[in-house]
Structure 1
Amino acid sequence: MFKTEKRKYSVIGAGCGGLVIAEHLASKGYDVSLYNRSSNRIKLFRQKGYNVVYGDRTKNVRLSYIGTDISSAISNRDIIIVVITANGHKEIAENMSPYLKDGQIILLIPGRTCGALEFEYTLKQSGCDADVIIAEANTLFFVARIETPNTVIVKGVKKTITVSALHSADTEYVLDKIHNDFPQLIKATSFLETSFGNIGAIFHPVIFLINKERILAGESFNFYTEGVTKKVAYFIEEVNHEVQNIATAMNTSVLSVKDWLKSRYGLKYTDIYTMIRSNPVYK
């Protein structure tokens, strides 16, 4: 499907991650469409665009298409980037399956755990026979927060991100098409590496479970700093060891949490508690 003229992107999901990725691509001169499942979230964007803040710079973003019609969003798009929570992957795959065309690349950012595998399975179950490539990254490119309904603040950019096509023979092709736009991407050995490298599957449940009473009581606190006590850090490391053992048994490998934090954010190598709580993008 790739043509001689500049390729076209579609971004699926108008959360903070999707909004920043769409801006990043639009700023490079690409034709970018943005799809969201609910209309309330994007109503203001369609009228006035939205803002992305990088330090002291604010960019107003206008895209070629912003809407809830997935057919319009992905039609004639070379690369489709899915930036939604993992529990929405199945629904999105079902909805886009009738409209996919041969040669399109679908990139899940992130795929979380086996996202690309579920996506391909769902497409097949939905009767999609388009010859598409499905790939997944193991984390988001940007650390961002929604400040107001139409403003996103970028707090940091990750230095390295692993990516793999579901069928690893396709990974080099995917990287060849998108590496100039996302230079922090590096090749993973397989989707097992990106899936077991899902750091959110370690951080999020551990921090949530140990802070459950605070959350149920309605207490307001910073999830990644105030929520990470030395006890939480201990259990993060223990869960990480279990994940590494499982990955080894599956003939793949993943970084330790400390190595992940150092490689993604350039943090000084120390203990998990200190590294998480001192990370400026988490504050």
Structure 2
Amino acid sequence: MSKKYSITILGAGNGGQAMAGHFGKLGYDITLFNRNTDQFTDIITTKKITLSGFIQGDGKVKKVTNNYQDAIDDADIIMVTTVASAHKEVAKNIAPYLKENQIILLNPGRTLGALEFRNEVENYSNKRVYIAEAQSLIYACRAEGKGKVRIIGVKNKVPLAAYPSTDTDYVLNIINQIYNCFIKAKSVLETSLENIGAIFHPSVVMFNAASIERGDMFYFYNDMTPTIADFLMKLDKERLLIGKSFGLDLISVSDWVSFSYSNIQGDTLCDKMKNNPAYFLITAPDKLETRLVTEDLPTGILPFMELAKLAKVEVPLLTAVFNIMESLLKVDFKTNGRTLKNLGIDHLSKEQFINSL
């Protein structure tokens, strides 16, 4: 280990606990924040998180708190692992307490997360901080009890970009001293348009809506069928087309699975999903109101649609998935979602937007 950084993790869900346990095991000073700490009395008492699976052992947790100022006061690095739909609220709450040169990394940013986060921080703070987003969470993981997390898989490479992109090298240099899996992306537009969850999650929920409502148990990825996988590939072509219109040569969802995980067998997306050990134990949600929809629509598919509009690209399948799921859930995801207007960039041309990154 190089410098012993103090790391704060905001959000104690599956990913947050996995990261706290992992980085604590590596020897860093870990503070874990969650709005409700009642369910984390075991971690508070034992000051540890026990990991099993791909990473095994105990990771020390120095502090568990539900106070934002207490959480970030001594932090060199702030890892945000909340749902992306909470990023704006988190930014507003931590902004008054930020200090110069702190690094904030969204894990993941989903689509245009770093832009939304910086906009909100700058509404309440003038501190010079570094804000970046990861293209995906490092881990495939599940909490299995109080202070216990199973690491199902760990990604080999995760693209990262700061906003603005001139800060990326600085952030990458420090973050990779902690865990060396992050690679440089051109800008947050690249990490944003490689939000693979937006392609996978809502559509699989949509096509399995009846099974989910009945309470049928199935494996979200491992029970993939060729027909649904083929639809995901067609949906992905629209994402790739958006990227091309912005001058980006994005990786396909099928290639992404091989890129992110080791030794994945199979030629098709369906085969790769079935053969990926990191996906074996991930079960389907037990209700339609899952973060796989409530997070991935407003912070994934919606900004995809908005970027397509900016680039004058037609995305009929993305639009259809968004409209169907919004109708099924009877929720308006546009009012508070990541639209160009809500992000404050609706006045920019495509070229001006690219140059602003």
Measured against the shorter chain, the TM-score band is over 0.9
What residue in structure 2 maps to residue 247 of structure 1? Answer: 243
Which piece of structure 1 moves more, 59-68 or 207-216?
A: 59-68
What does 1:142-221 align with in structure 2 at a 5 Å threshold? 142-221=139-218
Q: 1:124 aligns with which of 122, 125, 135?
A: 122
Alpha-carbon distance, 1:16 to partner:
1.7
Alignment: residue pair count? 277
1:265 paired with 2:261, answer: yes
Whole-Å separation in 2 of the counterparts to 1:61 and 1:159: 21
Alpha-carbon distance, 1:33 to partner:
0.7
Whole-Å separation in 1 of the counterparts to 2:167 and 2:111: 19
Query: Given that residues 72 and 97 in structure 2 are in contact (C-alpha distance below 8 angstroms), is that contact kept between their aligned partners in structure 1?
Result: yes
Query: Given that residues 18 and 83 in structure 1 are in contact (C-alpha distance below 8 angstroms), is that contact kept between their aligned partners in structure 2?
Result: yes
Corresponding letter in the other structure for 1:51: T
What residue in structure 1 maps to residue 41 of structure 2? Answer: 43
Alpha-carbon distance, 1:5 to partner:
6.0
- CA gap of 1:18–1:96, structure 2 versus 1, over 3 A, is same
What residue in structure 1 maps to residue 136 of structure 2? Answer: 139
Calculate the TM-score normalised by the size of structure 1. Answer: 0.93
1:65-108 alpha-carbon deviations (Å, 9 max, x no partner)? 11101111100211101011111111111110110011011000
Query: Given that residues 83 and 110 in structure 1 are in contact (C-alpha distance below 8 angstroms), is that contact kept between their aligned partners in structure 2?
Result: yes
Whole-Å separation in 2 of the counterparts to 1:231 and 1:80: 41
What residue in structure 1 maps to residue 93 of structure 2? Answer: 95
SS in 2 for 1:156: strand
Alpha-carbon distance, 1:248 to partner:
1.1
Runs of 4+ more than 6 Å apart:
none
What residue in structure 2 maps to residue 52 of structure 1? Answer: 51
Corresponding letter in the other structure for 1:249: S
Can you give the 5+ residue segments of structure 1 that lack an aligned partner in the other structure? none
Whole-Å separation in 2 of the counterparts to 1:41 and 1:130: 33
Calculate the TM-score normalised by the size of structure 2. Answer: 0.75
Whole-Å separation in 1 of the counterparts to 2:26 and 2:143: 22
Query: Given that residues 196 and 247 in structure 1 are in contact (C-alpha distance below 8 angstroms), is that contact kept between their aligned partners in structure 2?
Result: yes
Give the structure with the larger helix fraction.
2
Whole-Å separation in 2 of the counterparts to 1:253 and 1:89: 28
Alpha-carbon distance, 1:58 to partner:
4.4
Give the structure with the larger strand fraction.
1
Whole-Å separation in 2 of the counterparts to 1:156 and 1:88: 25
